[in-house]
Amino acid sequence: MYAFDLKKPIAIGCDHAGFDCKEDLISFLEGEKMVFKDYGCYSKDSVDYPDFAHPVARAVESGEAAFGILLCGSANGVAITANKHAGIRAAICWGEELAELARKHNDANIICIPARFVRDGDAEKMLDTFMNTAFEGGRHQNRIAKI
């Protein structure tokens, strides 16, 4: 059972450094028959990550998207950009355990993946963990409320 309302699309975006990994994740989502909206970029040509992180964050912020996926070389740029939006909790994850903790403890609603530091197949595993992990609430809810 998924931790998100997947009747809504998943928002996904990247810069040029995250393009190949984004394409792999799109194939994964298609294989799982999940609805998503691709906010770009659409090639390996050099682009500015905020141009893609802001639309993904706005989609999650407005409730148009169930959650978001952002990719860039280090994931720092897209995470910093997304976290400027109200209600967004974008977490950098480079392993399954971090993806799980981002959901369980931080109620993250955007997973940010550092494409240059993730092995083939690991992004799909992190995404699967992220989608299937519920927020624990409890003592973590008080911390989230202080953000």
Q: What is the pTM of this model?
A: 0.97
Asked if residues 3 and 135 have their Cβ atoms less than 8 Å apart, the reply is yes
Question: By residue range, what is the domain housing residue 125?
Answer: 10-145
Tell me the C-alpha distance between 117 and 40, whole Å.
20
How many structural domains compose the chain? Answer: 1
pLDDT tens for 61-109 read: 999 999 999 999 999 999 999 999 999 999 999 999 999 999 999 999 9
Residue 3 belongs to some domain of the structure: no
Identify whether 41 is preceded by a cis peptide bond (ω within 30 of 0). Answer: yes
Residue 95 belongs to some domain of the structure: yes
Residue 4 belongs to some domain of the structure: no
Residue 21 belongs to some domain of the structure: yes
Residue 99 belongs to some domain of the structure: yes
CATH number of the domain residue 85 falls in: 3.40.1400.10
Query: In the annotation, is 105 catalytic?
Result: yes
Phi/psi region, residue 107 (left: phi>0; alpha: psi -120 to 50; beta: rest), is left
Residue 102 belongs to some domain of the structure: yes
> Catalytic one among 14, 21, 41, 72?
72
User: No. of H helices and E strands in the chain?
Assistant: 6, 5
Tell me the C-alpha distance between 112 and 74, whole Å.
9
Whether pLDDT at 3 is above 90: no
Asked if residues 11 and 54 have their Cβ atoms less than 8 Å apart, the reply is no
Q: What are phi and psi of 142, to 5 degrees?
A: -60, -40
